[in-house]
Structure 1
Amino acid sequence: MSDLGKEYHIAGVTVRKVQEQYLRQVAPSFLYPAATVEEIEAIEPGLAAADMDDERETLVVSIHTWLVTTPDHVILIDTGSGNDKERPRNPGFHHQSIPFLERLHHAGVEPGDVDFVINTHLHVDHSGWNTVLEHGKWVPTFKNARYVFPRAEQEYYSSTASHNDVNIPSLGVYEDSVWPIIDGGLADFIDSTGGSFLDRFTFLPTPGHSIGHMSVLVEAGGEAAIFGGDVMHHPIQVERPDLNTVFCEFADQATRSRRRILELAADNRALYFSTHFPGSSAGHVTRNGNRFRWSYA
């Protein structure tokens, strides 16, 4: 699997995936604790080869950034898990050393070229490259960019309300990957109602996975694309939108948000850019009544 994805041209923007890493051998019973073995087995024949490990018993999950270029701006949507972070309670992301910025360079973008960084939410695997460690201090990676955060996420993760078992994997993220941005005066905030951004983007409130999760809609010239963040983690949830992951903190809201985005993607023939689907990570949702299907593009 390439570290740089194919280019997509839609709604007046160019989109390319910049890979951080793949997580392999993810047990379906871990990611979807409410699903039975029989339910996963019923879905498995419809999953693409890229969706599962070779033995077809465990899942593959991608972590990546979407590089979006418009005629006027360079935008990153979600920034992976980052290097050198202290994550002792989440060993898979602890003290990483991944050549992500080199991959961004190969995509033709240097950190100073980035105009906006959008975090759909502030979990460990979506905001890590917001900062880098320089001389023992966390500093903004993209020094010329405005960082756009959902306000509800900032308020929640800066408070003790977020200190619960579901958020153990993201302990330390606010302190090393969010606060340095705010402290440096580079942060802008999106209110819980969402709304328009720049000339063709709209923030769509999709809470549930996290308290203030936002998806991003891009529309122009009769075309549409959706950046869904963690509304879904794997194509399994296209087939079974009722299934929440172990990381979804507000279950009922998460299910409603997922169905809303699936309906929006299918009914508008939008190209869907996922944050964790493997393969190309981009594709289309189609529907037959209340049932949805996924195909990679």
Structure 2
Amino acid sequence: MSEQNSQLLNFKKWKIGNVTVTRILEMDPMHIPPEWLLQTTAETIKKHPWLQPNFATSDGQIIANIQGFVIEAGGQRIMVDPCVGNDKPRESAAFNKLNNPFLERLTAAGFPPETIDYVLCTHLHVDHAGWNTRLVDGQWVPTFPNARYLFGRVEVEYAKLDDGLDAKATFEDSVQPILDAGLAELVEFDFRIGDEVFLEPSPGHTPGHCYIRISSMGEEAVITGDLIHHPIQACEPDVCSNFCFNTDQARATRRLFLEKYSDTNTVVLGTHFTEPTGVRILPHGNVWKVEEL
């Protein structure tokens, strides 16, 4: 396993066996009040000094990224969780009608949109599906015109009816146009792309949430999606976000994930983790913590 950085271009690469994973940053690290996580205060954050300075501020705010990943495996390019998108009207002020150079960064990293073969969303929330489409002449059109968009069947059925913050707008401008264009493939939890990229069910945050497992040449990595939003949830695994569909299920799923990958060589790529985005999970008393690779 190896990694490379390019701060100038806002991307970072990891090599997992024969597979390459590239992180593309959409938004600069965000400082977020701890109450964004249920039952969490600044004092909760301060109890865990190892979170500073990378994942939390000295006054107890959490730090998070909005970013996507490109997996190169078996000659295929797979865009994972394409962020918020530009020009999208959103109730969330931080996501409303953005104008970010995400596609320019993607292209600078070597992945022009037309070269993407698959788009894979761990779930269909506002910050994981936005760049599925872009605004052209007043219409939402597929950003990745030559790609197959892989949506979980269970997730699509849930997202159609989701009435959470920005959920309806996200479905209408970032999912429905893909369905209408005939570019979507509705997949089950056991779907795989080739011999190295696998969906793994992780319901709770949403009913159809999955994380991505990469296995190649004896090396392994996972992309978390929102199974774990922030490293505080390693040492406080019962903490959920305010946007979890089923908090009890989310907690149970997260504990299983942490137990499975604790004290292994698996590279854990946190979808919202700032630097270091790639970590290992280690035991920490009767819970866990993350450690830079």
Which segments of 5 or more consecutive residues in structure 1 lack a partner in the other structure? none
Equivalent of residue 215 in structure 1, options 204, 208, 211? 211
TM-fit CA distance, 1:118: 0.4
In the alignment, which residue of structure 2 is the partner of 1:31? 36
Q: Which amino acid aligns with 2:18?
A: G
Corresponding residue of 1:179: 176
Identity %: 36
Could you say which residue in structure 1 is the equivalent of 2:79? 76
| Within-5 A mapping of 1:143-158 | 143-158=145-160
Letter in 2 for 1:179: Q
Structure 1 pair 258–2 and aligned structure 2 pair: CA distance change class (3 A): farther
| Structure 2 counterpart of 1:266, one-letter code | S
Distance of 2:17 and 2:239 partners within structure 1 = 31
Which letter maps to 2:72?
A: T
- What's the offset of the Cα at 1:289? 6.4
Return the alpha-carbon distance in structure 1 between the equivalents of residues 141 and 156 of structure 2.
18
2:63 paired residue among 60, 63, 66: 60
Deviation string, structure 1 residues 248-285 (Cα, Å, up to 9, x no partner): 12101101111122122225421011111111311111
RMSD: 1.7
Alignment length (residue pairs) = 287
In 2, the alpha carbon distance for the partners of 1:47 and 1:2 equals 25
Name stretches of at least 5 consecutive residues in structure 2 with no aligned partner.
1-6
- TM-score if structure 1 supplies the norm length? 0.91
Kept in 2: contact 1:24–1:60 (CA 8 A): yes
Conserved? CA contact 1:3–1:20, under 8 Å = no
AA at the equivalent of 1:135? D
Q: How does 1:112-191 map to 2 (within 5 A)?
A: 112-159=114-161, 162-163=162-163, 167-191=164-188
Q: Does 1:97 align with 2:99?
A: yes
SS at 1:85 equivalent: coil
Equivalent residue runs for 1:233-248 within 5 Å: 233-248=229-244
2:4 corresponding residue in structure 1? none
Structure 2 letter corresponding to 1:281 = T
- For residue 17 of structure 1, report the CA deviation from its aligned partner: 0.8
**Structure 2: how far apart are the matches of 1:33 and 1:11?**
38
TM-score, normalised on structure 2? 0.92
Aligned residue identity for 2:40: A
Ranges of 4+ aligned residues in structure 1 off by more than 6 Å? none
2:46 partner amino acid: E
Alpha-carbon distance change, 226 to 58 in structure 1, aligned in 2, over 3 angstroms:
same
Is contact 2:17–2:217 with CA below 8 Å preserved after alignment? Answer: yes
